[in-house]
Amino acid sequence: MRSTILVTLSLLGGALAHGDHGGSQKPMVDANADWMTKHMAEEHHIADFDASSFFALHDFDADGHWEHEEIQRTYGLMDESNAGVSASRKADIAHEVANLMDADSDGFVSRDEFVRYIASGKTLPDMGTGPGHHGDDEYEYEIHHWEKYHGDDTTMEDLTHPEDIAHFKKHEEMEEAEERLEQMNRMRIIEGNIPKLFQRGG
């Protein structure tokens, strides 16, 4: 069982946060910065990132490509702050953004397509729907993706905010439960399931 859980803090500029965690520092960004930079600073409190990291952080189901729903989440269209945006407008935004990068027209944006798009000097457009609040349910997705793609050097001792500690504790408990199930599935005979009468020394 891994004893560590999340990101390499040095990569994140010393902080990973979602929303306002009291003492976490939101990076200062230029008023003329592109939408992606503003989003990462406002929503994730991250100043330094690359295209691959941005993609992974917003690949909410970790399947290697963005569906339209994930684009909507990235733009905060699932958040209550955009409750007034019509369903058709949300669909139009996802379609418009996807079409910018979907080079093979398969309806999805792959990591390679996104990285090539950013490498060409382009960026995700500001669709006028705010900084892209994901909502509380996305916090554990962030944990999973930063851990998967940037290492898991952060320990429980590194955490200071009660909300973070609770999230990470839940994450560890889920991992432990999954590992126990995997071990049991690999065992041909599960001793705990044998009636005491038939157990050795029973």
pLDDT tens readout for residues 1-49: 333 333 323 333 333 434 443 345 778 889 899 999 999 998 888 888 8
* pLDDT of 161 above 80: no
Number of domains in the chain: 1
* pLDDT of 94 above 90: yes
pLDDT at 66: 96
Does residue 176 belong to any structural domain of this protein?
no
Does residue 52 belong to any structural domain of this protein?
yes
> 110 φ, ψ to 5°?
-85, 165
Does residue 53 belong to any structural domain of this protein?
yes
Residue 47: give the domain boundaries.
35-154
* pLDDT of 150 above 50: no
Q: In this structure, what CATH number is given to the domain that contains residue 107?
A: 1.10.238
Mean pLDDT of the 148-162 span: 51
Does residue 189 belong to any structural domain of this protein?
no
- Please give the mean pLDDT across all residues of the chain: 74
